[in-house]
Amino acid sequence: MQINDGLQPADLSLKLARFWALSGQKIDLIEQEYDVTKGSPVFTAAGKYTTRGWTEWTQGFQFGSAILQFDATNDNHFRDIGRQKTLDVMAPHISHIGVHDHGFNNVSTYGNLLRLMREGRIPTNEWEANFYELALKISGAVQASRWTTTRNGGYIHSFNGAHSLFVDTIRSCRALVLSHALGHVFQGEGDVKINLLDRALQHIKATAEYSVFYGEGRDSYDVWGRTAHESVFNVKDGNFRCPNSQQGFSGFTTWTRGLAWAMCGFPEELEWLATREDAELEPFGGRSTIEAYMLKAAKAICDFYIDNTATDGIPYWDTGAPNLHKLGDYLNRPADPYNDFEPVDSSAAAIGAQGLLRLGKYLTEKGDVAAGKRYVQAGLTVLNTLLDEPYLSTSPNHQGLLLHSIYHQPNGWDYVPPGSKIANGESSMWGDYHFRELALYVQRIIRNEPYYTFFNQIV
């Protein structure tokens, strides 16, 4: 991608104002039109949100979007939607033992509400705060219970089964560290106390070791920063077996949304670790060791994104998609969501841009100013592209906010409009939510408001 080195956050102020106006309209449109009897909205088809039964992993994004809208605009209408729907609908997600997505559903709702209360944005009510805290404590413990022990550690296994480590799950480590930091005691058989920070760090380390490649000769496709969506283990002896993919093209190519989840997950966990005392980290290898493997992974994957993305910062859905070669020199021009061969995935851009910005800020504060600026400017470049057409949805009839998101290309789940050869023009709950999260992150910087993190003021 071509990084705009001169772009400043304040340059995006007018675009962000338009963005939040459109965002509010989309939230209300879904509230008015979506048939809740169909289940959680997942992605759009012909501009209308629909569902797709796989797992219930997107509802927290729906109501979390309303909470973020309030955060950005102070419009109590959206605060009330987010609070009430969290109370009415989200309880089953707290105890859902069948998914690896607690950091998505519950931190986006209960977590955001508690954060806003602690920031003084929502009136403080002790019982309401206790309610949010309890939800976060239990959610983190339930997430941590999906545990597989490996030869040299362990990981939170995906809904595919005990053998399966998903790169996406690093963003659900937020649930574990919040539960830990809130003082929750997770207990197993025989009242054995299980340290939630230990499990979070083991999972992060496993992700860094197995999901991320570093150009060190691991296999024929080992290049600096590429990721595998799924890492497969032998659950009998705990040994790693092979890379795999469920939503990417193969285990030997990089599904860009999986890459983006890691781009966002590693830097935000580094930010959280910076708030902890050294003594707390000492039993798990110590700060320098922990931060070293996390920072190596974060820099590698962000470099890979920059090097393997079109000039405007928007990636295609997989860097090894089989028909990319038909696009010619596609990395040296802006992405084309309307081409005839392979879809782009704007949701990967929205998720990954936040990681670029967070990593850039982290490195700058550590004294690595040049590298920090590169990542920050890359993140701003991506956001600048997303805030304009053809990615920003301006149609009053389209329920989505971020266009050209892809859910599951291999399964053919995404809507292909008449006359097109590939899926395009549609939105997803995760794409819309992370677009809002990205916009809020930058807007708070512009307004010199408290820095936005998932743990801000909570612990």
The mean pLDDT of 217-244, rounded to a whole number, is 97
Average pLDDT, the chain: 97
Q: Which amino acid is at 299?
A: K
C-alpha distances in Å from residue 328, one per residue of 50, 73, 245, 331, 335:
34, 43, 25, 9, 12
Domain assignment present for residue 128? The answer is: yes
CATH number of the domain at 370, please: 1.50.10.10
Q: Which two tokens stand for residue 335?
A: 């992405």
Predicted local confidence at residue 13, as pLDDT = 98
Angstrom distance (rounded) from CA 69 to CA 301: 30
Domain assignment present for residue 382? The answer is: yes
Of 93-102, 174-183, 222-231, 246-255, which gets the smallest average pLDDT?
93-102
Predicted local confidence at residue 216, as pLDDT = 97
Q: Which two tokens stand for residue 93?
A: 């997600």
The answer on pLDDT for 416 being more than 80 is yes
Domain assignment present for residue 85? The answer is: yes
Q: Which two tokens stand for residue 175?
A: 């649930």
DSSP string, 48-84: EEE---S-S-SHHHHHHHHHHHHHHH--HHHHHHHHH
Domain assignment present for residue 206? The answer is: yes
**Domain around 271:** 9-446
C-alpha distances in Å from residue 14, one per residue of 5, 272, 376:
19, 31, 20
Tens digits of per-residue pLDDT, 66-95? 999 999 999 999 999 999 999 999 999 999
pLDDT band at 56 (very low <50, low <70, confident <90, very high): confident
pLDDT band at 38 (very low <50, low <70, confident <90, very high): confident
Q: Tell me what percent of the residues of the chain surpass a pLDDT of 70.
A: 100
pLDDT band at 417 (very low <50, low <70, confident <90, very high): very high
Predicted local confidence at residue 432, as pLDDT = 98
Predicted local confidence at residue 55, as pLDDT = 75
Angstrom distance (rounded) from CA 249 to CA 162: 22
Q: What is the pTM of this model?
A: 0.98
Predicted local confidence at residue 348, as pLDDT = 98
Angstrom distance (rounded) from CA 200 to CA 455: 15
The mean pLDDT of 274-296, rounded to a whole number, is 98
Angstrom distance (rounded) from CA 412 to CA 166: 21
Domain tally, the chain: 1
What residues does 150 pair with on adjacent strands? 153
Angstrom distance (rounded) from CA 406 to CA 255: 11
Domain assignment present for residue 227? The answer is: yes
The answer on pLDDT for 39 being more than 90 is no
Q: Which of 39, 159, 26 is nearest to 89 (CA)?
A: 39
DSSP string, 10-62: GGGHHHHHHHHHHHHHHHHHHHHH--GGG-S--EEETTEEE---S-S-SHHHH
Predicted local confidence at residue 255, as pLDDT = 98
Tens digits of per-residue pLDDT, 392-408? 999 999 999 999 999 99
Phi, psi at 259, each rounded to 5°:
-55, -45
Domain assignment present for residue 256? The answer is: yes
The mean pLDDT of 223-249, rounded to a whole number, is 97
Side-chain-side CA neighbours of 171 within 13 Å: the count stands at 25
The residue written with tokens 């670790």 in the block is 273
The answer on pLDDT for 298 being more than 80 is yes
The mean pLDDT of 9-18, rounded to a whole number, is 98
Angstrom distance (rounded) from CA 279 to CA 385: 43
Domain assignment present for residue 302? The answer is: yes
Q: Which two tokens stand for residue 33?
A: 């039109």
Tens digits of per-residue pLDDT, 101-113? 999 999 999 999 9
Contact call for residues 141 and 179 (beta carbons, < 8 A): yes
Domain assignment present for residue 455? The answer is: no
The answer on pLDDT for 26 being more than 90 is yes
The mean pLDDT of 18-35, rounded to a whole number, is 97
Angstrom distance (rounded) from CA 216 to CA 104: 32
Q: Which two tokens stand for residue 415?
A: 């809507």
Tens digits of per-residue pLDDT, 348-391? 999 999 999 999 999 999 999 999 999 999 999 999 999 999 99
